[in-house]
Structure 1
């Protein structure tokens, strides 16, 4: 792995939180991701399933975590199964986790080779009544591929039909949304790498540059700072392209007079950062660009100040909508009649700002986290308002990542990334 080793105590704490919420006489199983084929002998780069990483720190394929707090044999209360390694694998694929290394990474004392799973699992199933399955229940998930987790659940239900099953996801939604101090440090590192990338491109952007060249500059800076690269597919959208919310072609020329929207973030140790900045291609804002830009910035700042313990996520978005409505009225994009006659299910401001303002951030860019209960300290949210004006060939979005505090204003993990008009112009014209 490119990233520095993570103290295994983080994963010890995470497992303890999960097991504390398990029903009696239960065990839980978590599988690694598959390595997905492309064609011939080619595969996609491996990405570890976030839940098994969150609970164990094991960052390799063909890994299984088993948690059984009430196991009669104390050494079976936490078990990590890893692929057996040998000299041949080390030569052809690189070093894999030994049993000793797996313990060092995870803090789990009992490590077996994966070939032992069926035997050990069958023995433990005689002691339990319930098995926790790990299903993806994120509110934005749209997975069509069968995962290793899916295949395990299918196999287990057939082999052990008399057992009851429970869902791991409600527990994970609750505990993954509230970050430990070590996780906040990892997220800060990811944001710091993003900062370096953004400052690098500010001196590179100019009329005539291609969007993909800017993408390459980000990637260069990310890789040289121990990141695997982008936390998600980057959006480098100049001119009209910024009005396509998930524009990812990044193949157009940046033109003089246009604005350039960059929605990018570095990953670090599987943790995501998520930044959006919009800058003038030629390094100077026009009066109109500045007015719209500052309106978005004011919405972002006011929305950030609302992220406090006790805030309701749905109500928060309604309040942000009111703030945006006021800004759009000031810009002349809406008039009072538009607001008075608006459809409550699709308010007038949605014509120019059609997406949400905030989502959880962590191991996933759109991370797990409670959304139907009040916000609590150490939740991490993005704040990303935007105004999109296709007729003016311009879309402006600004986004930072912030941590809710027990007392006081949230901490902005991206506070050192240039964002004001003056900061952007200074950096672009050094």
Structure 2
């Protein structure tokens, strides 16, 4: 891994919190992700399943975690299985976790090789009444690939049909949505790397540069600061490309007078940052571009102030919509008749701002969170309003990552990343 070692007390605490939410006499099982094939002997880079990472810190394929807090054998209340390593694997694939290294990473004392899994699982099955299985129930999930977790679950339930079944997902959504200080520090580090990348391109962008050249500059800066790279597929959208919300081709030339919308950010230690900025190719906004830019920035500031403990998700977005409506009226993009005649299910402002304002962020870019429950302190959200005007050839989105506080305005993890229009122009010139 490129990142510095994470203190195992984070994972010890996370397991304790999960165990405290389990039913009596139950066993929870978490699997690592597969290494996915491309073709021939090619594979995609390995990405660990975030849940087993959250609970153990293990960032390696073919790993399994079992939690059984009521197990009558105290040595089997937390069990970690890792792939057995040897000199041959070390030569061909690199260093893998030894049992001692797995303990130091996770804080789990009972570490076994994966070959012992079936034997120990059988023993645990004779003690427990309920299996917690780990299904993907994220509200944005649309999974068509059978995962390692899916295969394990099918095998488990076929072999032990008499056991009750419970879901880990609701517990994980509640726990992962509220961040520990160690997690916040890791996310701050990811944001700091993102800042370095953004400042680098402010000095690089000029008329006729290509979007992919900017992408390369960002990737260079991210990796040299111990990130694996982009936290998600980067969007570098010049001109009218900005009006395609998920434009990822990044293959066009940036023309003088146009704007470039960036949705780019670094990860660090699997934790994500998520940044959007919009800058002028020529280093100066036109009056119209600046007016729209400042309107988006105003909405972002107002929306940030609304992210308070006790706030309900749906109500928050309704209130942000009111602020955006006011700004669009000032810009003459909509009129009072549009507002009076709007469809409540698709308000007038949605013509120019069609996506949501915020989402949870953490180990996933769209992180876990129970949207029907009130917002809590130490939840981390993006704030990302935008205005998209295809007829005028540009779109603007501005986005920061903020931590909800017990009292007062959320703490902006990206407060040092330039955002004011005048500051952007000064830095580019």
Q: TM-score, normalised by structure 2?
A: 1.00
Q: CA separation in 1, counterparts of 2:295 and 2:138? A: 32
After superposition, residues 169-318 of structure 1 pair within 5 angstroms as: 169-318=169-318
Q: CA separation in 1, counterparts of 2:59 and 2:424? A: 38
Q: Give 2:121's aligned residue.
A: 121
Q: Give 1:397's aligned residue.
A: 397
Residues matched between the structures, number? 429
Q: Give 1:386's aligned residue.
A: 386
Aligned to 1:126, the other structure's residue is in SS state helix
Q: Give 1:36's aligned residue.
A: 36
Q: Report the Cα offset of residue 300 of structure 1.
A: 0.1
Q: Give 2:47's aligned residue.
A: 47
Q: Report the Cα offset of residue 408 of structure 1.
A: 1.4
Q: CA separation in 2, counterparts of 1:7 and 1:228? A: 20
Q: CA separation in 1, counterparts of 2:191 and 2:422? A: 21
Q: Give 2:152's aligned residue.
A: 152
After superposition, residues 128-139 of structure 1 pair within 5 angstroms as: 128-139=128-139
Q: CA separation in 1, counterparts of 2:188 and 2:153? A: 36
Q: Report the Cα offset of residue 150 of structure 1.
A: 0.2
Q: Report the Cα offset of residue 30 of structure 1.
A: 0.2
Aligned to 1:257, the other structure's residue is in SS state coil
1:114-173: CA deviation from partner (whole Å, max 9, x where unpaired): 000000000100001100000110000011100000000110111001111100000001
Q: Report the Cα offset of residue 422 of structure 1.
A: 1.1
1:380-412: CA deviation from partner (whole Å, max 9, x where unpaired): 000000000001110000000000001111000
Long gaps (5+) in structure 2: none
Q: Give 1:360's aligned residue.
A: 360
Aligned to 2:127, the other structure's residue is in SS state coil
Q: Give 1:346's aligned residue.
A: 346
Aligned to 1:166, the other structure's residue is in SS state strand
1:172-204: CA deviation from partner (whole Å, max 9, x where unpaired): 010000000000000000000000000000010
Q: Give 1:58's aligned residue.
A: 58
Q: CA separation in 2, counterparts of 1:234 and 1:427? A: 22
Q: Give 1:18's aligned residue.
A: 18
1:301-332: CA deviation from partner (whole Å, max 9, x where unpaired): 00000011111111000000000000000000
Runs (4+) off by over 2 Å: none
Q: TM-score, normalised by structure 1?
A: 0.99
Q: Give 1:416's aligned residue.
A: 416
Q: CA separation in 2, counterparts of 1:75 and 1:412? A: 43
Q: Report the Cα offset of residue 266 of structure 1.
A: 0.2
Aligned to 1:388, the other structure's residue is in SS state strand
> Over the residues paired in the alignment, what is the CA RMSD in angstroms?
0.4
Q: Report the Cα offset of residue 426 of structure 1.
A: 1.1
Q: Give 2:77's aligned residue.
A: 77
1:216-241: CA deviation from partner (whole Å, max 9, x where unpaired): 00000000000000010000000000
Q: CA separation in 1, counterparts of 2:336 and 2:322? A: 13
Q: CA separation in 1, counterparts of 2:265 and 2:30? A: 27
Aligned to 1:263, the other structure's residue is in SS state strand
Q: CA separation in 1, counterparts of 2:75 and 2:409? A: 44
